[in-house]
Amino acid sequence: MWSRFTSHLYVRIWLAVVATVLVLAFAVGAAWRLSADPPQLPIREVLVHNQTGAVIGKAQTRPDRKRGDDLEFVVQTSDGQTLNLMLPRPKRPPTSSWNRPPFGFGWMLGLVALAVALGTYPIVRRLTQRLEGLQRGVERWGSGDLSARVTVHGTDEVAFLAERFNHAAERIETLMETQKSLLVSHKSLLANASHELRSPLARIRMGLELMDSGTNSAQRAEVSRSINELDQLIDEILLASRLDARQADAEPFEMLDLTGLAAEECARMQAELGTAMQTHSLMLQGSARLLRRLIRNLLENARRYGTGEVSLELTQTGTGAQRRAVIRVNDRGPGVPVGQRERIFEPFYRLPGASEREGGVGLGLALVKSITERHRGTVRCEDRPGGGASFVVELPMQTST
């Protein structure tokens, strides 16, 4: 019963506090008792007898005598004589002044305080060490180490809290592993399904080419456009799946001419190319196929939502190891609201009000972000002076695999 009662943390803290208070109260009471004014000493009386036993005189001690004074009596006898009677106090061996009140009590109080400190420290330290261990475990878990666990000691509230934390951390770790497995399975299924769609799509395209030339040309053009959009969608889904699964890490990185890639894509999209590199090309290490797709998606996005000219600017910033290639694609479209400039890079997200006629399913900019991160760069959307939007990609010049 007693062990069960004292197993609670608050009971142990309470007992330690009560014991400390009792010791201190006793010490303070003793100090007050010793330092208080001494009480009045009792009156002593002496009787003087003659040879026959008759009392011939008597006297009392002075009422103002102090503790430690000798006993002194002034006796008036019956025959008129005055006798001075003195009883000296016994002599004591000399002692140090440090052993006399209040110094002796001060030493005692210091020893008592030291004993209390030494007695309570192990208890308090043991409790705080367990709390510190729980704190370190929570900090490790909060920093991303989902395998972090706390050692359980005892049966009190701290031990119960440590057990519940370990149980919750284990469940969350299991849920995260399950989520990762489901995500990998989902991406694998999406990639496989997209790959399998290529075969019927190729047959549809071949059947369309073999159709009678007398068929309505408008219908043929619409079917052909839909096939091209579906083919592009499948290609983007496959590339996004490989980037998410880190399969793109197998893409060889090589020294390439970014200016040449941008020029080819601008010519294909009939966009204006501007570059500050007048004397030499902008060279960096990267995947030519992925960077070509990045530029193409930015230009197609600008052409899809813009109403005027589309331009691409190439510049270089920084020096030495901080050099960065900057790709800026400008359009004269409606622009992107500030609150949507992060979300437009999410997969399958489209701005509110975007019509199906404009095409696209929301993967183009998501691929741009994935390819940029694959090259350890950054991408952002800004307002273009005079109206429109500017998509800015910054790539480090010393990118390596």
Looking at per-residue pLDDT, the higher value among 380 and 91 belongs to: 380
Most confident among 81-95, 152-166, 187-201, 224-238 (mean pLDDT):
152-166
Of the candidates 372, 181, 171, the residue with the CA atom closest to the CA atom of residue 286 = 372
State the amino acid at position 237 in one-letter form: I
* φ/ψ (deg, to 5) at 328: -125, 120
Question: Could you give the CA distance from residue 347 to residue 359 in angstroms, rounded to a whole number?
Answer: 15
The answer to whether 55 and 47 have CB atoms below 8 angstroms apart is: yes
State the amino acid at position 224 in one-letter form: S
Q: What single-letter DSSP state applies at residue 46?
A: E
Take residue 96 and report the two structure tokens written for it.
């140090």
Tokens 């704190």 belong to which residue?
Answer: 135
Residue 76 pLDDT exceeds 90: no
Pairing of strands 311-317, 324-330: antiparallel
Averaged over 26-39, what is the pLDDT?
67
Is residue 84 helix, strand or coil?
strand
User: Tell me, what's the pLDDT at 392?
Assistant: 95
Tokens 């998501």 belong to which residue?
Answer: 366
Strand partners, 207: none
Is the bond preceding 252 in cis, omega lying within 30 degrees of 0?
no
Averaged over 31-37, what is the pLDDT?
65
State the amino acid at position 119 in one-letter form: G
Q: Which pLDDT tens digit goes with each residue over 188-245?
A: 666 666 666 666 677 777 776 766 655 567 767 777 777 777 777 777 777 777 776 6
Of the candidates 398, 392, 400, the residue with the CA atom closest to the CA atom of residue 369 = 392
Of the candidates 117, 48, 109, 102, the residue with the CA atom closest to the CA atom of residue 79 = 48
Strand partners, 274: 313
Question: Could you give the CA distance from residue 311 to residue 263 in angstroms, rounded to a whole number?
Answer: 11
Question: Could you give the CA distance from residue 195 to residue 342 in angstroms, rounded to a whole number?
Answer: 30
Take residue 19 and report the two structure tokens written for it.
């014991």
User: Tell me, what's the pLDDT at 351?
Assistant: 78
Average pLDDT, the chain: 77
Pairing of strands 82-87, 272-275: unpaired
Residue 61 pLDDT exceeds 50: yes
User: Tell me, what's the pLDDT at 194?
Assistant: 61
Question: Could you give the CA distance from residue 341 to residue 352 in angstroms, rounded to a whole number?
Answer: 13
Residue 401 pLDDT exceeds 60: no
Question: Could you give the CA distance from residue 30 to residue 27 in angstroms, rounded to a whole number?
Answer: 5
Looking at per-residue pLDDT, the higher value among 331 and 202 belongs to: 331
Number of Cβ atoms within 10 Å of the Cβ of 262:
24
The answer to whether 266 and 236 have CB atoms below 8 angstroms apart is: no
Say which residues have a Cβ less than 8 Å from residue 346's Cβ, sequence separation at least 6.
362, 366
Q: Nearest-5° angle of CA 393, CA 397, CA 398?
A: 130
* φ/ψ (deg, to 5) at 68: 100, -10
User: Tell me, what's the pLDDT at 43?
Assistant: 80
